[in-house]
Structure 1
Amino acid sequence: MSDISSSSCRVYLVVASFCYAFFGWQHVLLGLGWLNQPWPHFAPPMAFLLTYILAVVLCLAVSAMAGWHLYMVAGGETSVETQDHEHYRKIAKQRGETFVNCYDLGWRKNLELFFNIGPNGYPTYTLLLPLRIEPYTDGRAWARRPGVEQHLGVRPGEELTDEDDEN
């Protein structure tokens, strides 16, 4: 649940910083002295300008980070798996095989499962509300492609991360 909560926080930070930047641009012109009007606020213009620059930078940086993470979720991968799967693709290609991620159910289904929305989850409008939504999984078992129990194109012993021993 922490992944979903942190993703929601990123999105809300992007929205808030975007609104601050979008609705504050006229105050930037005023703070820079480009308009022939006095500064009407108690805080000095430099304080506002520094805060404005911070909001713009945070909006861009967190948007890029959130976009990258949504891209990985749409592909059914985590940050670590992205590196592992690139290695698996190279090995499979050398053998003339194709690597297939068993957790990639298609971008739409992956996003629906991640946010727990769609036909088997909550309504889509819950994405717009700051609600805690229970994940579809217990964190140990994940949805896979029908009939595929492990990645295709990877042979036993070639995995970069070992399965936990269940004793």
Structure 2
Amino acid sequence: MRILKWRVNVCHWTTRLGQYLNLNCQMFKLTMLSLCYNAFMSPNIILETAMEPVFWIVDHFARYMGPILMGLVLTFSSAGVIIFYLIMIPRYLVYGWHWFLPHFIFGNLLLINVIFNYTMGYLTDPGHPPQIVPEVVSICKRCIAPKPPRAHHCSVCKRCVLRMDHHCPWLNNCVGFYNHRYFFLYMVYMMCGCLYGCFMFYPLFYENFYVGKEVVFHGALYPLNMAYNYWVSKKKSYTLIAVSNGTSIKLTPPPPPTLNLTWTDHLYHHSVIFVFFLGSGCVLALGLLSLWHARLISHAETSIEVHINKNERKRLAKLGQKFVNPYDYGFKRNWQLFLGLTEGRTFWRHILLPSRHKPSGNGLQWETTTFTVDSNFDGVRIL
């Protein structure tokens, strides 16, 4: 007699299903690897491919965002300056001319430099390679034209730019060889102006934000005082009937008192808060951006070259070699070349005061730590 044993804990169809799914997954993976195989595939190529939608948005919409962002810069800057002058001049004029005049001169000097450098950064052409260049390092794949050293193609302007740093939508212009100094000085003077304005505005800001008049809502909740005044003006007095010893007494309490705040008080308060927070935000943002660009200038690099040099350092490190930036002349000399402090120009006259002097060189040929440009020769000679 055959004995049958039932095993309910084993299900053969689930085992076959698992094998079937595993086989199909392996076949799908092998098919995808066969179709997508590329010997030149790398993490950088994958990242660039993933960023293509972002690049497409920049190429098609950055040119339209430029005028909008410029309008925001001009609007907020003008509003901040107007509020500062309308509030601070009457307030500090009472301290006397001996105290007011130095601050007035210093503040206007910062303002003049901000306006000058921003205007010049917008109006000055960053520089573009001509049809014939004396030195060529590569061919631009988009312009299909020779590209001189340190030049790069701008996807927004659709042109190559000499010593391109980046395309600035706030300037609605590329930052390159001829206007890089204006861009950097605008950031520095704007940051200094905002920092100076916040310093002068802080006592008034503290008075309005924390102390001020007797209000119901203090600090950041100050705007609720307008709603409180509106509620009190609409609220009617009510009658309360109280019973005492069998006798009803009608009590009519007065409505809550309204605050003695006019629209002028509200406008004054919001203007002070707006200017202080706007200036604080600009100090933080422009301060970090200025430090980043100052670091690049100190190493004779641009925002594009710093990434190129970083990859080159990694590549040479694997070969046991050390990368040396050929355009790095040292901290002091790099700043002199960037600011154009050559041919007898001085920091006090050409940096602290508005100046339209051009940078050294032509942006087409660059002296390096091993080669120098000879003005009487089309090529280069070894030092």
TM-score by length of structure 1 reads 0.79
Does 2:313 correspond to 1:136?
no
What amino acid is aligned across from residue 346 of structure 2 in structure 1?
A: P
Contact 1:28–1:49, Cα closer than 8 Å, also in 2 = yes
Give the structure 1 partner of residue 183 of structure 2: 6
CA gap of 1:33–1:90, structure 2 versus 1, over 3 A, is closer
Give the C-alpha shift of residue 47 in structure 1.
Answer: 2.4
Q: In structure 1, which of residues 68, 76, 80 is the aligned counterpart of residue 304 of structure 2?
A: 80
Give the C-alpha shift of residue 147 in structure 1.
Answer: 4.2
Contact 1:102–1:148, Cα closer than 8 Å, also in 2 = no
Give the C-alpha shift of residue 121 in structure 1.
Answer: 4.6
Q: In structure 2, which of residues 300, 310, 326 is the aligned counterpart of residue 102 of structure 1?
A: 326
Q: List structure 1 segments (4+ residues) > 4 angstroms apart after TM superposition.
A: none
Give the structure 1 partner of residue 9 of structure 2: none
Q: In structure 2, which of residues 198, 201, 204 is the aligned counterpart of residue 24 of structure 1?
A: 201
Distance of 2:344 and 2:308 partners within structure 1: 30
Query: Could you give the per-residue CA deviations for residues 131-161 of structure 1, whole angstroms, max 9, x where no partner exists?
Result: 1121102111223113489xxxxxxxxxxxx
Distance of 1:60 and 1:34 partners within structure 2: 26
What amino acid is aligned across from residue 20 of structure 1 in structure 2?
A: G
Distance of 2:338 and 2:367 partners within structure 1: 11
Question: Which is higher, the Rg of structure 1 or of structure 2?
Answer: 2
Higher strand proportion? 2
Q: In structure 2, which of residues 342, 347, 350 is the aligned counterpart of residue 124 of structure 1?
A: 347
Distance of 1:55 and 1:68 partners within structure 2: 20
Aligned residues: 147
TM-score by length of structure 2 reads 0.36
Query: Could you give the per-residue CA deviations for residues 88-121 of structure 1, whole angstroms, max 9, x where no partner exists?
Result: 0011111111111100111111111000115x45
Distance of 1:147 and 1:114 partners within structure 2: 19
Q: Quote the sequence identity (%).
A: 22
SS at match of 2:314: helix
Unaligned runs of 5+ in 1: 150-167
Distance of 2:212 and 2:181 partners within structure 1: 44
